[in-house]
Chains A and B, each alone.
Chain A
Amino acid sequence: MASPPPAARALRRRGSLAPYGFLGPAALLFTLFFALPIGFAVYLSLRAVKVKGLGLGSHARTEVWAGLSNYTSALSDSELLSGSGRVLLYGALLVPTMLGAALFFALLLDVPRVRFGAFSRLVIFLPYAVPGIVASTLWGFLYLPQVSPGYYLLTQAGMSGPDLLHGGGLYLAMANIAVWGGTGFNMIVIYTSLRALPAELYEAARLDGCSELQIALRVKIPLVAPSLVLTFFFSMIATLQVFAEPMTLKPLTNSMSSTWSPLMKVYRDAFVQGNVYSAAATSVVIAAATLLLSFGFLKLVNKRTNGGS
């Protein structure tokens, strides 16, 4: 992140209540739509329904305290575990590819005397405007051998294309959709921080006879490292939360189970199987894992940057 402004010193002197007033709307919304639901999820995760007799009649189903039993069953659930494994594999394919491409394109855009830079930037950014549902629908059709131009070309050349909708190919199919959708956005974030670097930095390097490649590798990349960390962080979070894309591909292939990603499992538990208690426990576990991973990552980054310099 950019270094904090040296000032705001003067503003502190007025120890007024103004900033708290400005924060009011956000605090209210946060309470209602973040804190309260999270608290409620935790509460639900500790509850269960007890069915009396045949479960008929209005008083046959009662909510009782369940202690940690929802958690023990969530954590020992093999579907959650294998779903997490699938998402990790998908993320391992996706995140390095996407961020590598984003950094690459951002550096290219920042090269002096590039033509059609504005056009390329806009077009590479364009998929960001396409909803995940639509992106997956489009790619889903393009993965079908009878539609895809890639398959068409391969058949003309006498070869057969890989099956992208079954088995291991599904990971490639999924990762490609996300790379397509996310590269442009991350490219813009990195490009913005490249543009924010003072031009004098390169002038000196250029006068010393550095090539553009050397400038990119030795000056630009280290200086945009904070925005790389930021994009990596957000990509990681987004990966863990993948939902719309596998939901959309599901009708096109029988390799996609209804619990392919952990979020899909929560959805199924809550709304298909009607067990909000177990769904709440699972979603709390996912949230805790996300937080743990995030803070672990941030701590690692801080340690690195503090220890390094």
Chain B
Amino acid sequence: MSTTTAPAPRRTAPALPRKGSAAAPRRTAWTPTLLLLLGAVYCLVPVVWVVTAATKSRQELFTTFTYAPGSGFWDNLAELSSYRGGVYWQWMANSALYAGAGALLSAAVSGVTGYALAKYRFRGRSTVFNVLLAGVLMPPITLAVPQYLLMSKAGLADSYWSVLLPSVLSPYGIYLSRIYAEAAIPDEVVEAARVDGAREWRLFRSVALPMMVPGLVTVFLFQFVAIWNNFLLPYIMLGDDHKFPVTVGLYSLLQQGANEPALYTLVITGALLSVLPLIALFLGMQRYWRVDLLSGAVKS
């Protein structure tokens, strides 16, 4: 990742004279604070459950109190790792591949498309934007069934490509990139570079792109999450469970668990491990989730 991110601009410009509020005592607003914490507790209910449940052995799962930690975490982990020759870790690696490569390509395509839509006025501009956005409205199944049949004809069904390629174009990413380019790239800067004689592609590469990096990282993250969490497309495209991403893999485990409850501990442990990479991504790249970057940047 690039390090060109500017420090997040504060919205409240210090230049403004603020007589009233500046003098106000800095008391904590407790009611909103507590209500927000209540919301946070609700969001943590299943998270805390999966953490404790993953520590429970098969016997403890349905017999001990929900939030009482068990004694079987390492056994569960070992059992999950050895399940069908470690196929679980293959699923995780596949998810990383689909989401990582897909999101990278997606950010690149979104960036260049969003830039063109934001910074040029040309014939068909709004039509292009509307048609791309209409892609959001297409029910994924309306696309996935014919995509599968076409992929089969091309001999690509049940391959890595069949999941990777349809994930690259992201209407939402393009939308975000366009908004970001409009806000973050001042026309004066583009014009100045153009007067200097920069060609359009070089102008994009060396002037616009660096300014768009924080926005593109955001697009990357959103798309990474979208692909990692996607279920329908890989579920339809793939038959070979060695190519499954972790969502489809866990689903297949859960299906078997309905007949073989012994697998439930594996499902739970696997569910916990499957969200850890995304949570790490959130915590590790928090500054890129600072969506307030979207404002401020070009406010003058």
Contacts and interface: CB of A to CB of B under 8 A. Distances in A.
A87 to B, nearest CB: 11
Contacts of A259: none
Interface residues of A, number: 111
A97 to B, nearest CB: 12
Contacts of A115: 28-30, 33
B264 to A, nearest CB: 8
Interface stretch (A21-29, A50-58, A63-71, A77-85): A21-29
B274 A8 contact: no
Contacts of B6: none
Residue picked from B120, B132, B190, most chain A C-beta under 10 Å:
B120
Interface string A1-19: 1101101111110111011
Given A32-B165, A192-B292, 8 more contacts: A8-B121, A18-B200, A25-B113, A26-B113, A40-B149, A120-B40, A180-B43, A276-B145
A126 B268 contact: no
A49 interface: no
Interface stretch (B46-54, B69-77, B78-86): B46-54
A203 B182 contact: no
B29 A112 contact: yes
Interface in B215-254: 225, 228-229, 231-232, 236, 246-247, 250-251, 254
A240 B32 CA distance: 33
A128 B225 contact: yes
A204 to B, nearest CB: 10
Contacts of B236: 267, 271
B1 interface: no
Nearest to B246: A131
A105 B39 contact: yes
Interface string B134-145: 111111111101
Contacts of B255: 251
Contacts of B42: 180
Contacts of B137: 237, 287, 290-291, 294
Interface in B109-124: 109, 112-113, 115-122
Interface stretch (A88-96, A158-166, A241-249, A301-309): A241-249
B39 A127 contact: no
Contacts of B262: none
A111 interface: yes
A127 B251 contact: no
A19 B119 CA distance: 9
Given A129-B225, A180-B43, A271-B236, A286 B142 contact: yes
Chain B residues touching A, majority SS: helix
5 contacts: A18-B116, A26-B169, A34-B135, A133-B229, A266-B145
Residue picked from B108, B118, B121, B294, most chain A C-beta under 10 Å:
B121
Contacts, number: 316
B95 to A, nearest CB: 9
Nearest to B276: A129
B143 A37 contact: yes
Interface of A: 1-2, 4-5, 7-12, 14-16, 18-23, 25-26, 29-30, 32-34, 36-38, 40-41, 44, 101, 104-105, 108-109, 111-117, 119-135, 137-139, 141-142, 146-149, 152, 180, 183-184, 188, 191-192, 195-196, 198-200, 203, 206-207, 212, 234, 237, 240-241, 243-244, 247-248, 251-252, 263, 266-267, 270-271, 276, 279-280, 283-284, 286-287, 290-291, 294
A283 to B, nearest CB: 4
B211 interface: no
B174 interface: yes
A64 to B, nearest CB: 17
A34 B138 contact: yes
A111 B32 contact: yes
Interface size classification for chain B: 35 or more
A203 B229 contact: no
A40 B18 contact: no
Shortest 3 CB-CB distances between A and B: which pairs? A196-B295, A22-B116, A7-B187
Contact of A22 (B112, B136, B147, B179): B112
Contacts of A241: 139-141
A25 B145 contact: no
A30 B232 contact: no
B251 A44 contact: no
Contacts of B119: 8, 11
B113 A23 contact: yes
B160 interface: no
A203 B131 contact: no
B284 interface: no
A180 B47 CA distance: 11
Contacts of A290: 137-139
Contacts of A120: 33, 36-37, 39-40
Contact of A124 (B40, B147, B296): B40
B120 A8 contact: yes
